[in-house]
Amino acid sequence: MQSQGDNAGAGAGGFEVDGRALALRRALAATMRDLLAPD
């Protein structure tokens, strides 16, 4: 079982990973939009 301190550290590090995943998902969504609705 992890201590509260370990969880706090994982949460802080996880936020950065979530931000990168969100940016990647946003880029992927924009790409899909371009593929599905070409000009």
Q: How far apart are the first and last CA of the chain?
A: 54
Q: What is the pLDDT of residues 1-39, one digit of tens each?
A: 555 555 555 555 666 778 899 999 999 999 999 999 876
**DSSP string computed for the chain:** ---HHHHHHHHHHHHHHHHHHHHHHHHHHHHHHHHHS--
Whole-number pLDDT of residue 4? 53
Residue type, 12: A
Whole-number pLDDT of residue 10? 53
Whole-number pLDDT of residue 29? 96
- Kindly list the distances between the CA atom of residue 26 and the CA atoms of 4, 5, 22, in Å, as whole numbers in the listed order: 32, 32, 6
Whole-model pTM over 0.85:
no
